[in-house]
Amino acid sequence: MQIASHNHQTDLDAVLASVRPTQALLGLNQDGMIATDTWGRIRYLNPAAERLMGYTLDQVHERPLNSILTIFNESTGQSSGDPVARCLESDSVVALGNHDTVVTCEGEEVPVAGTASPMRSSAGVTVGALLVLRDVTPTRLLMRRISYDVMEKGRGRLISARQFHQRVEQIVHGMTDLHQHALIFVHLEGVPQIDERFGGAAGDALLSQLTQRFLSVLRERDSLARLDTREFGVFLEHCPRRQALWIADQLRRSLRRFRFQWGGQRMSLGVKLEVLPIAKGASSDDYHDGLAPALQDEEDPAPYA
């Protein structure tokens, strides 16, 4: 048993000896590289990994990687686990998640991308794992900025339910027989479940993505509101019935194609629409209470034929 262990150690040393010139050849000197044996004990850190983690190789040599490495998902706050352990268990390459972040020895949080790959001897035997980590702070900050700008743009067009009803009342009060307006009520099944299952961060991301879906179809003059957890209201000002039906159909098609991705899962939403022309002298509550007839939902696409 000791001989086998010695041979195993010799094979690992041989593989590690090839890591240093290989990383220079491939231009990986800026990537943090952490090599472990098959028990997950640290055998090698390159200088970039030392800078990233805040440890030197002498400090952590032969310590279990999971005793010094903490990786969590910055969106959910949950632990992402040990990629090296998963790599060794499956004997395959394991990629870090899109929102993974490393905690350094000083408690600093660093956004990273990377992979854990098996290291094999010349005989094809797995002798350890190599974790490659890249600091992606600039990229993650840029993506946050873009996401924030998109969300703020959407929020500027997404009004409250109270504002929505007030706007409809104001328009209806000044209507003449020549004016044509319409309401679209969009019912989305599955929205509350996503929020409850994955938390507020997922709910915010879903709302932002749905808002952008709506705005990609609606006109600048149209009003969009979230009326409750699963319903949106759209007010189409100066919009003839035929055009309102066309806009509703475009919304239905876009929302049916929509897939929300979170936590490695892709989810679709049930979609039902009501398109309601506004009559002179009516109240927005009349429509929202369902007193006007529905012209379209996903089981009755006839108005769009």
pTM: predicted TM-score of the whole model, two decimal places = 0.48
pLDDT for the residue numbered 153: 53
Range of the domain at 122: 2-140
Residues 173 and 291 in one domain: yes
Percent of the chain with pLDDT over 70: 74
Q: 224: which residues sit within 8 A by CB, 6+ positions away? A: 157, 158, 159, 211, 214, 215, 218, 232, 233, 234
pLDDT for the residue numbered 44: 92
Q: How many domains does the chain have?
A: 2
Over residues 167-198, the pLDDT tens digits come to 888 887 777 666 788 999 999 998 888 877 77
- Note whether 210 and 267 are within 8 A (CB): no
Residues 167 and 33 in one domain: no
Residue 224 pairs in a beta bridge with 158, 234
Residues 296 and 163 in one domain: yes
Spatial CA neighbour of 241 closest among 180, 150, 302, 162:
180
pLDDT for the residue numbered 205: 82
Residues 136 and 110 in one domain: yes
pLDDT for the residue numbered 24: 45
pLDDT for the residue numbered 57: 92
Looking at the domain assignment, is residue 150 inside a domain? no
Residues 239 and 288 in one domain: yes
Provide φ and ψ at 223, rounded to 5°: -110, 135
Spatial CA neighbour of 157 closest among 204, 238, 215, 229:
215
Q: What CATH number does the domain containing 251 carry?
A: 3.30.70.270
